Chain A
Amino acid sequence: MKNITDSFLCLGYWPSAGSFGFNTDILATNPINLSIVLGVLVFFGKGVLSDLLDNRKQRILRTIRNSEELREGAIEQLEKAQARLRKVETEADRFRVNGYSEIEREKLNLINSIYTTLEQLENYKNEAIHFEQQRVINQVRQRVLQQALQGALGTLNSCLNNELHFRTVNVNIGIFGTMKEKKN
């Protein structure tokens, strides 16, 4: 250490222009003022700077903590939502199964009732047809009978004279007399 300072002092004794060296003239190299300036700068600057940097650090810490908490909250909500989803899904399944069986039952009921109604309508139809048939047959019979009677009447009127009439009445009296005897 002493050697180094000795060599520095040597260099200081060299002439002050035209060569390398160390200038030890205190008044020219200005170390006093520089050190005062540096001292004041460091003194005030350190306070300001560490305030700024502390604020920044606190802000970073707070942001990290906030985001951690938000993340925790979000995970919790996710869990809750998933549990609810599962519950709702099982209920929906149950409803679906129940619903299908009910639908089947309703369908069968409806089909049965329709069948019975259908049968009733068939019966009515058949009865109506039968009834119409009978009516028509009766009508036809009546017409035929009328025709026959008209024909017989016509024949009788055409070929009926007094003698035939007399003989027919006699036969009829004889028949009625026999019938009355049989009844007695």
Chain B
Amino acid sequence: MNVLLCSINTLKRLYDISAVEVGQHFYWQIGSFQVHAQVLITSWVVIAFLLVSAILVIRNLQTIPTFGQNFFEYVLEFIRDVSKTQIGEDYGPWVPFIGTMFLFIFVSNWSGALLPWKIIQLPHGELAAPTNDINTTVALALLTSVAYFYAGLSKKGLAYFSKYIQPTPILLPINILEDFTKPLSLSFRLFGNILADELVVVVLVSLVPLVVPIPVMFLGLFTSGIQALIFATLAAAYIGESMEGHH
């Protein structure tokens, strides 16, 4: 009897140490909607970081760039290169969109992996990367969907819909299906990667807190960066695909 109680107690203590909260959110009431406040808060932090760093760098532009200006110019060249490769000639108007996607996703992923969010404790749920919530990634994916529709319609007008029967009309149902699977795959890819990495790290930390999680954290940094790049590249590719073929 005592032995049983002891084991139950140790199990309970283990449970206390290794508690992982997934799925419990911190809700705010706005109008008749409940929003995930922790995602909003971390998103605001990411946005503030991006805006402040950009404003700080832009203030004193010079021909021979300083370190910060050089870094931002390098990032801009990288994003321009990605857009140009995927979209083709009229890539100019789409650079801000692709850049925003890339930078927001990259900074939010890395902030989730690098910043000690768990120090701040919320009544329910916890702070983490904003992209670990399916709502964020679905929002980004739907924005991409709207963007490539807008690109195709503004460039080709109603002739855009001829692309649905493009190689042969038999592929019409597959092309329509593609319009649904594209945002689906974008959102789930990003969400799955970020949430999974976060969960793995948390579980490892709860098992062996000290050194073992470190390789997984590096892997997480690497894959989250790659995911940001993939999201941006795919968004640019979809936009380019819907704008092409304008003979």
Query: Across the interface, do B210 and A32 meet the contact criterion of CB distance under 8 Å?
Result: yes
Contact residues in A for B71 (Cβ distance below 8 Å): 49, 53
Contacts of B205 in A (CB 8 A): 27-28, 30, 33
The residues of B that contact A60 with a CB separation of less than 8 Å are 64-65
* Most-contacted residue by chain A among B201, B211, B217, B218 (CB, 10 A): B217
Report the minimum CB–CB distance from B28 to chain A (whole Å).
13
Segment of B3-11, B94-102, B114-122, B187-195 engaged in the interface with chain A: B114-122
A43 to chain B, nearest CB (A): 13
B70 part of interface (Cβ distance < 8 Å): yes
Report the Cα distance A82→B124, complex, angstroms: 81
Cβ contacts under 8 Å, B92 to chain A: none
Tell me which residues across on chain B come within 8 A of A23, comparing CB atoms.
118-121
Q: What interface size band does chain A fall in?
A: 20 to 34
Q: Quick one: given A19-B123, A32-B210, are A57 and B64 in contact (CB under 8 Å)?
A: yes
Cα distance, A28 to B204, chains bound together (Å): 11
A37 at the interface (CB under 8 A from B): yes
Q: Which of A30, A41, A64 contacts B116 (CB 8 A)?
A: A30
- Rounded to whole Å, the gap between the CB of B197 and the closest CB of chain A is 13
Cross-interface CB contact of B121 among A16, A52, A57, A64, cutoff 8 Å? A16
Question: How many interface residues does chain B have, given as a range?
Answer: 20 to 34
B159 CB to nearest A CB, Å: 42
Main secondary structure of the interface of A (DSSP, over half): helix
The residue in chain B whose Cβ has the minimal distance to the Cβ of A38 is B114
Which of A20, A22, A29 is the most central at the interface, judged by chain B CB atoms within 10 Å of its CB?
A: A29
Quick one: given A28-B205, A52-B74, are A36 and B214 in contact (CB under 8 Å)?
Answer: yes
Q: B88 interface residue, CB < 8 Å from A?
A: no
Distance in Å from the Cβ of A34 to the closest Cβ of chain B?
Answer: 5
Inter-subunit contact B64/A20 (CB<8 Å): no
Q: Mark B192-222, 1 if CB is under 8 A from A, else 0.
A: 0000000001000110011101100110010
Contacts of A37 in B (CB 8 A): 114, 214, 217-218, 221
Within 8 A of B (CB), among A38-67: 38, 40-41, 49, 52-53, 56-57, 60-61, 64
Q: Write the nearest CB–CB distance from A25 to chain B, whole angstroms.
A: 9
Contacts from B to A (Cβ < 8 Å) = 17, 63-65, 67, 70-71, 73-74, 114-116, 118-124, 201, 205-206, 209-211, 213-214, 217-218, 221
What are 20 A-B contacts defined by CB distance under 8 Å? A20-B120, A21-B121, A22-B120, A22-B121, A27-B205, A27-B209, A28-B206, A31-B116, A31-B119, A33-B211, A33-B217, A34-B116, A34-B217, A37-B214, A37-B218, A37-B221, A53-B71, A53-B74, A57-B64, A61-B64
Further contacts, 10 of them, CB under 8 A, given A23-B118, A34-B114, A37-B214: A20-B121, A23-B119, A27-B205, A29-B119, A33-B209, A34-B217, A41-B114, A52-B74, A56-B74, A60-B64
